[in-house]
Structure 1
Amino acid sequence: MRAPRLAMAAAAVLALEGAAVTVFAIIELFQLGAGEAASLITAIALIVLTLIGAAALFAFAWGTRVGHMWARSGGVVLQLLAIALVLATLTVPPIAWTFVLGVGIPSVLCFVLLLASTRKEAVRPPDSTEDPVAD
């Protein structure tokens, strides 16, 4: 089953977020190589966790693209976590506006797209040719 346009747009945003997190992990890796880490073990753990987060975003993007509800659920959870992080950042002076806008705008956009896609699919009548248990 192919997902509707709203789900495709949400999948694209999830994939872009995954790419951004991957770039962030690569930057962390270069900083580790430059000797800028205070603790080697902590830096490696942070890089691994960052890559796991990127893999999760890519998996949710793929799942959303092919129409799986589990992927949208995971995507919504990650977007809510990102929005919470942005809101927490707003309480720490000085406010890092680049971070707030760079993370906040895509997170809110993706959250809205995922919810709208889910609502649209809930309203759409089921296709009689599909197996209802396949998803």
Structure 2
Amino acid sequence: MRAPGLGRAAAAVLAAEGLVLLVFAAIEVAGLGAGDAASMPTAVALIVLTAIGAVALLAFAGGARVGRSWARSGGVVFQILAVVLALAALTLQPIPWAFVAGVGLPGILGFVLLIASARREGEQPRSE
């Protein structure tokens, strides 16, 4: 079963976020190779955790695309974390507006789309 248009839009946001995280992981790997890391174990751990987050987002995107509730649930958690991270960045001086917008706006959009998709799917009669 394919998800409705809202589910596909939510999946697109999740996939875009996952791909961006993969790019950040690749940038960190390049920095590691250039010797920019102050602590090698910390840098490797950060790269691994970033890659795990990216793979999770891509898995949630695939699940949301076919209407799986576990994917929407995981996606909602990631979107809440993104919004919280963006709000926390507002406490920094000077405020990194590009980061706040780049993380917060997709987080809000993804959250709204995932919730709307779940509501829309919940309204449809189930076929068993």
TM-score per shorter chain, which class? over 0.9
Match of 1:42 in 2: 42
SS of the residue 2:28 aligns to: helix
Paired with 1:93 and 1:125, the residues of 2 have a C-alpha distance of 51
After superposing on structure 2, the runs of 4+ consecutive aligned residues of structure 1 that deviate more than 2 Å are: none
For structure 2, the residue ranges without an aligned partner over 5 or more in a row are none
Identity %: 63
Displacement, 1:28?
0.4
Within 1, Cα distance between the matches of 2:108 and 2:86? 10
The CA deviation string for residues 15-54 of structure 1, in whole angstroms up to 9 with x for no partner, is 0000000000000000111111000010000000000000
Distance 1:29 1:101 in 2: 25
The normalised TM-score by structure 2 is 0.98
The match for 1:14 is: 14
Please, which runs of 5 or more residues in structure 1 have no aligned partner? Answer: none
Structure 1 CA distance, aligned partners of 2:58 and 2:105? 19
Partner of 2:84: 84
Instruction: Name the structure 1 match of 2:62.
Output: 62
User: How far did residue 124 of structure 1 move?
Assistant: 1.3
RMSD between superposed Cα atoms in Å: 0.7
Deviation at 1:9, TM superposition (A): 0.3
Tell me the TM-score normalised to structure 1 length: 0.93
Larger radius of gyration: 1
CA distance in 2 between counterparts of 1:93 and 1:82 reads: 19
